[in-house]
Amino acid sequence: MTDSTNVPVHVSMIMDGNGRWAKERGLERVRGHYEGVESVRACTEAAVEEGVKYLSIFAFSEENWNRPEAEVIALMSLMAKCIAAETPTFHKNHIRFRVLGNRERLSAELLASIEATEKATECYDRLTMIVFLSYSGKWDIMQAARKMALEAASDPSKAESLKDMKLSDFDKYLVTAGVPDPDLIIRTSGETRISNYLLWQAAYSEFYFTPVLWPDFRKPQFREALEAYAKRDRRYGKVK
Ligand code: IPE
Ligand code: IPE
Ligand code: MG
């Protein structure tokens, strides 16, 4: 266990560098994605051991649909395989599994297996594992605004109440409704950008960037990130 009581409630990971990991070894990019699954397993175990309550991963962005078709197909089928393979672990370790993103773009088959696993694990609360799939931050904010506008258009009392709207009222329209904002966002592979991830929810997240490529990011690296987080001073604009 990390020697700290300052454990983040929600850790989010931008898993990056699978392609470069494979290229360094003269392998196909997809091999990097396969190896990256082992990192997800390792980090999930470490998160449970450290007492993290929410672990989220950016698995596929809305922009990733623009990758070559073969890679998109490989990533989607890897997702389906992982759900099937990991479901017994979710039950064993009492992990709630959720997928957040633009579901309209997912195949009916993948969607059915996602929904079945979400339903089967919704009773668990040791760790909530969130996979952001076909997700982008701008898309999330836009769909939230659209939902709100449609509600207001069909219900004058809702339109009236917009005057007194608080920021926390907007949270309810985002796909992350009810999920605490990430305390810590980790990005691997040396890139130091947010790539249209949790734009609204990351307003006060701590960022941890590491040059380690995602397939090499395992338990020791995850713990190192938690240790770095424990030393951060979160001020939220106030004076301490
Ligand atoms: C992250 O690795 C996985 C996804 C974005 C799906 P990349 O595939 O982006 O790997 P690099 O950045 O090309 O090395
Ligand atoms: C971000 O990685 C998206 C995911 C990790 C799913 P990318 O590799 O797609 O991001 P860019 O293109 O380098 O910004
Ligand atoms: Mg990348």
Task: Note the pLDDT tens digit of each residue in 6-35.
Answer: 999 999 999 999 999 999 999 999 999 999
Amino acid identity for residue 96 in this structure:
R
Q: How many angstroms separate the first and last alpha carbons of the chain?
A: 29
In this structure, which ligand is nearest to the CA of 14?
A: 2
Q: Structure tokens of 193?
A: 């950008």
Q: What is the pLDDT of residue 86?
A: 97
**Ligand 1, atom 6, residue with closest C-alpha:** 60
Residue range 60-66: mean pLDDT, rounded: 98
Q: Point out the catalytic residue in the list 6, 64, 102, 196.
A: 64
**Ligand 2, atom 7, residue with closest C-alpha:** 16
Q: What is the pLDDT of residue 4?
A: 55
pLDDT tier, 240 (very low <50, low <70, confident <90, very high otherwise): confident
In this structure, which ligand is nearest to the CA of 187?
A: 2
Task: Note the pLDDT tens digit of each residue in 99-115.
Answer: 999 999 999 999 999 99
Helix ranges, the chain (H): 18-24, 29-50, 69-93, 108-121, 137-154, 156-161, 167-171, 219-230
Nearest CA among 64, 62, 63 for reference residue 75: 64
Q: Does ligand 2 have an atom closer than 6 angstroms to the CB of 197? A: no
**Ligand 2, atom 10, residue with closest C-alpha:** 195
Task: Note the pLDDT tens digit of each residue in 171-227.
Answer: 999 999 999 999 999 999 999 999 999 999 999 999 999 999 999 999 999 999 999
Q: What is the pLDDT of residue 3?
A: 52
Pocket test residue of 60, 61, 192, 217 for ligand 2, highest count of atoms within 8 A of CB: 61
CA of 167 to the centre of ligand 1 (A): 33
Task: Note the pLDDT tens digit of each residue in 139-151.
Answer: 999 999 999 999 9
Query: Is residue 16 flagged as an active site residue?
Result: yes
Q: What is the pLDDT of residue 199?
A: 98
CA of 151 to the centre of ligand 1 (A): 38
Q: Which atom of ligand 2 is nearest to the CA of 67?
A: 9
What gap in Å lies between CA 240 and CA 233, rounded to an integer?
9
Q: What is the pLDDT of residue 5?
A: 74
**pTM for this entry:** 0.97
Q: Does ligand 2 have an atom closer than 6 angstroms to the CB of 195? A: yes
- The pocket around ligand 1, CB under 6 angstroms, is made up of 15-20, 60, 64, 75, 189, 214
For the chain, give the mean pLDDT: 97
CA of 237 to the centre of ligand 3 (A): 32
CA of 64 to the centre of ligand 2 (A): 7
Total count of residues recorded for the chain:
240
Query: Is residue 18 flagged as an active site residue?
Result: no
